Structure 1
Amino acid sequence: MVRCKSNTRLSSIKNKVILTQADTTVGFISQNHNRLSEIKERPNAKPFIKIYNSFRSIQSRIPKSKKNLVRRANKTTFIVKNKAFRVDKTYKNSQLLRDLEWHYSTSANEIGKSFCREFCEDKTDIIVEDQNGLNELASSRLIKINNTKIKALR
């Protein structure tokens, strides 16, 4: 189910903030990192995790020796050359999200607080929810990789 605050067409989806259930937890997603920075009240210079809907989109950025690790990983965020990314195939359940090749992601909560549906509904443009609803779950694992090393950070 998709709920939208306005009744205009979704042609400018790239500037919208979407509240949805990810494979790990409830999150705000958008292709506009400035809107996410506003909501989370954090500096624009602080980067967000970039979520891709398929491994093909990112395979050129991954060290050759680590491609198998990334392709087979579930609920894992990788850092390569100080850029965080992960592949999340759960978005394939929604046509709206399936059309986005990538987007920025952050947890759907206020700084230092847990998930509050009222706060999130107030800050988001579109809500994508299935029959299971929106549930705060554990965050993804965080692994830093390069050509020779693998270091678990979370």
Structure 2
Amino acid sequence: MDKFNRTSRLSRLSEKVILYQSDTTVGFSSQDAKKLQKIKSRDPSKAFIKIFKDLKTLNMLGLRVPYKYKNTLRRSKKSSFVVKNIAFRVVNNPINSQTLRDIPWHYSTSANESGKNFNLDFCEEKADIIIQNKDGLRELNSSSLYKLNHTKRKKIR
């Protein structure tokens, strides 16, 4: 596990797996999807949710949200969306870690083995960096997931 106080080492974060308490549940985060697949023993065909720190970053990557749902996306809390088979979330609330605030986007998944419940020992063993507040890490409900297209919105979970 790496411990550091300066942001000058952030260039290496794209290679790291971070364990943190999100606004919904405990999650693994990384910019390397293959590392996350290996940790979770997950089917490679199953995609991860991409977390963006703001709408500007989402737009810069060329993902266009149907105009009809732009306000929904902007005002959403604890919701993930699928547009053209790309799953994403925009997390506007600041996470209490400078490490995560400086990353423009990352892949995210729940912190457990595929099909199993949260196990702190497993998570601490697999994570390179652990970000924890005074409340600790605890499993909560996952975000709602909606599929959007130009005509309708469908709730998936």
| TM-score, normalisation: structure 1 | 0.91
1:14-93 alignment, distance < 5 Å:
14-59=14-59, 61-93=64-96
Using the alignment, how far apart are the partners of 1:145 and 1:36 within structure 2? 26
Deviation at 1:5, TM superposition (A): 6.8
* Unaligned ranges ≥5, structure 1: none
Deviation at 1:148, TM superposition (A): 1.3
| Residue 152 of structure 1 pairs with residue 150 of structure 2 | no
Using the alignment, how far apart are the partners of 1:85 and 1:132 within structure 2? 27
Deviation at 1:90, TM superposition (A): 4.1
Of the structure 1 ranges 46-55 and 85-94, higher mean CA displacement relative to structure 2 is found in 85-94
| Residue 142 of structure 1 pairs with residue 140 of structure 2 | no
Deviation at 1:153, TM superposition (A): 1.0
Which of 98, 105, 110 is residue 107 of structure 1 equivalent to? 110
Classify 1:13/1:99 alpha carbon distance in 2 versus 1 (closer, same or farther; 3 Å): same
Output the aligned Cα RMSD. Answer: 1.7
DSSP 3-state at the match of 2:130: strand
Using the alignment, how far apart are the partners of 2:55 and 2:75 within structure 1? 10
Percent of aligned pairs sharing the same letter? 53
Classify 1:40/1:23 alpha carbon distance in 2 versus 1 (closer, same or farther; 3 Å): same
* Unaligned ranges ≥5, structure 2: none
Deviation at 1:112, TM superposition (A): 1.8
Classify 1:74/1:146 alpha carbon distance in 2 versus 1 (closer, same or farther; 3 Å): same
Using the alignment, how far apart are the partners of 2:67 and 2:58 within structure 1? 12
Deviation at 1:102, TM superposition (A): 0.3
Alignment correspondent of 1:119 = 122
The C-alpha deviation readout for 1:64-122, integer Å capped at 9, x for no partner, is: 11100001000001000011000123453211101100000010011222111100000
Deviation at 1:131, TM superposition (A): 1.0
Aligned-partner residue type, residue 79 of structure 1: V
Using the alignment, how far apart are the partners of 1:122 and 1:5 within structure 2? 15
Of the structure 1 ranges 24-33 and 57-66, higher mean CA displacement relative to structure 2 is found in 57-66
| TM-score, normalisation: structure 2 | 0.89
